[in-house]
Amino acid sequence: MTALPKAELHVHLEGTLEPEDLARFARRNGLTLPWPTAGELRAAYSFTGLEDFLAVYFAGCRVLRTREDFHDLTAAYLRRAAGQGVRRAEMLFGPQVFLDHGVGLEAQLGGITDAIAEAREQSGIDGALLVSAHRHRREADALELLDLVRPWREHVLGVGLGGAERGNPPSKFARYFAAARAEGYRTTCHAGEEGPAAYIREALEVCRVERIDHGYTATDDPGLVARLADEQVTLTLCPLSNLRLHVTEDLAAYPLRALMDAGVPVTVNSDDPSYFGGYVNENYAAVTEALGLTGDEVEVLVRNSFTGSFAPPEEIRAARLSGA
């Protein structure tokens, strides 16, 4: 699996914070954690669902305070990704929680973009940043986030929307996505993880996003599946995440192959790998074993990861010519 060059399109930088690094950052910043050891923190990674996970996730975010922290977090993920054959990583990042803690964007985005530039030079991995708003907040907060990141426009490829879906439909953020499009951002939206297939429709029809993060529940609506195939809308599936959060109870019943057979361009990604037990290759391995995917099917998934990316067309062509 490592030998296959691939792109990762759905990974949250905050979700790559390994317990050992979380503890190290806490010590560096003089903070006390609810979990005395990294082992006890790992033991807390047993989730009943998305909201249970988010409580631990946001608690972990508190240790990231300085430019050095955000640099080290990003550099660590990009090293691991490059070691797994990832040539392009489109990383989601949610500044709002850190702004709440008094951490400015200079520290956040400065550290991240420094690490992206270094990794491109040292490892050849192409990192790209997508800023994500939290859907449990007001749309006004998401619009404010766009204003705040404007000075960083040349470093931010696109915008997304993440967080707990229930009670927070994509349509709540229609103006946010319209404003993002007007500024030239690429757009993606979490939909159809714990939310219904109707949320995927909303993301496409009301918010007019280019890509759907997750999209697991799409198969509940055959008409939607046909549309995703006709319009070649990429879904960024996250098998281990869906398993650990009980979106699915068995990867043998995972809809990835059904979506592939219907012509939908699906991809395999890690979401929040530190919390869910695997980076991108572990996700490929898990779903390949559970569904009995053939080598040709895995190669289709890898190709989709590049063609579904927001890379310039010439870079996508170069990646495919190089064996992807």
299: annotated active-site residue: no
Q: Is the backbone of residue 90 left (phi > 0), alpha (psi -120 to 50) or beta? A: beta
∠ CA 87-89-91 to the nearest 5 degrees? 170
Q: What is the CA radius of gyration of the chain?
A: 18
Which residue in 8, 90, 193, 194 is the catalytic one? 193
∠ CA 93-271-304 to the nearest 5 degrees? 105
Expressed in angstroms, the distance from the first to the final Cα of the chain is 12
Measured in residues, the chain has a length of: 324
17/85 Cα distance (integer angstroms) = 20
SS3 sequence, 139-189?
Answer: HHHHHHHHHHHHHHHHHCCEEEEECCCCCCCHHHHHHHHHHHHHCCCEEEE
71/68 Cα distance (integer angstroms) = 5
Active site residues: 193
